[in-house]
Amino acid sequence: MRENTMHRVHQMAVLAFMGTVTACLLALVFEQAARGPSELLGGVVFALAAGFGLEFVSSVWTGRKEGPTRLDPSRDRW
């Protein structure tokens, strides 16, 4: 396979994984919210984590056609 193809496969695999984890975190936020005010702290923690996940997925999704992103292994070198 070409290096560009492997880069795209890696990028989409990371995007799929982060999307799955973020969806699970969002489900936990709604589940904690359904339990009522007694579980507020857990819901806030899950909401913060889901927010970071959504930001990551959003930045990777919008940057996928703009060329190399921070997920580009070749940019990890000094």
pLDDT tens digits, one per residue of 25-63: 999 999 988 888 888 888 898 999 999 988 988 887 776
Output the furthest CA–CA distance in the chain (Å, rounded): 53
| pLDDT at 20 exceeding the cut of 90 | yes
State pTM to two decimals.
Answer: 0.68
Neighbours of 29 (CB within 10 A): 20
Q: What is the pLDDT of residue 72?
A: 58
> Between 22 and 72, where is the model more confident?
22
Mean pLDDT of the region 14-22: 90
